[in-house]
Amino acid sequence: MDTAGLEGRFLIAMPGIGDERFHRAVILICAHSDQGAMGLIVNQPSESVSFDELLEQLDIKARDDSIGMPIHVGGPVETGRGFVLHSMDYNAENALNIADKFMLTGTVDVLRDIAAGKGPRERIIALGYTGWAPGQLEEEIQKNGWLACDAVADIVFGDGPDDKWVAALSELGVSPELLSAGGGSA
């Protein structure tokens, strides 16, 4: 299977993924090369920290309309590190362009702008990320751990984290009821 160019694509966890941290996960791949891969889970809100608490920890004053924004679990790697995955309308210095569809910013300046009402129109704030060593992701895909499809902004930034897994599968024309935890090869 050719998995080159997974940037800007979804990884959709299969039922037999074998790691509860990725149960029904939808991951946007932000970078992928022969050096490995990095992505953010887009459908796992954090239950341990809110946007308000994050701003308070960073001593950032927020406008009232930015309060209550969810924080997501981006993945199990470096869970104290924050990222903002956002729409292309906001271009911060040092932002990573993801397949000309999304931007990824890892500086506190974007949080200040969001709190002031000047940030990107659409965004997900995430703590941590998912990461794979060279060849690891390709092996997991071969072992039926993940499906891949083009990422869709409406799914990335949409409401209802529980619905994103089903919506991502529907992009492939796959019904969740038809998925098996086991895989095979012909």
- Residue numbers of the chain with a pLDDT score lower than 70: 1-4, 64-68, 180-186
Is 181 contained in some domain? no
Residue spans of alpha helices (H) in the chain: 51-57, 108-115, 136-142, 153-156, 161-171
pLDDT score at 160: 82
pLDDT score at 117: 87
Helix/strand number for the chain, H first, E second: 5, 9
CATH (domain of 49): 3.40.1740.10
pLDDT score at 186: 47
- Residue 34 lies in domain: 9-174
Give Cα separations from 182 to 15, 77, 145, 175 (angstroms).
8, 27, 9, 16
Is 99 contained in some domain? yes
Is 31 contained in some domain? yes
pLDDT score at 113: 92
The total number of structural domains in the chain stands at 1
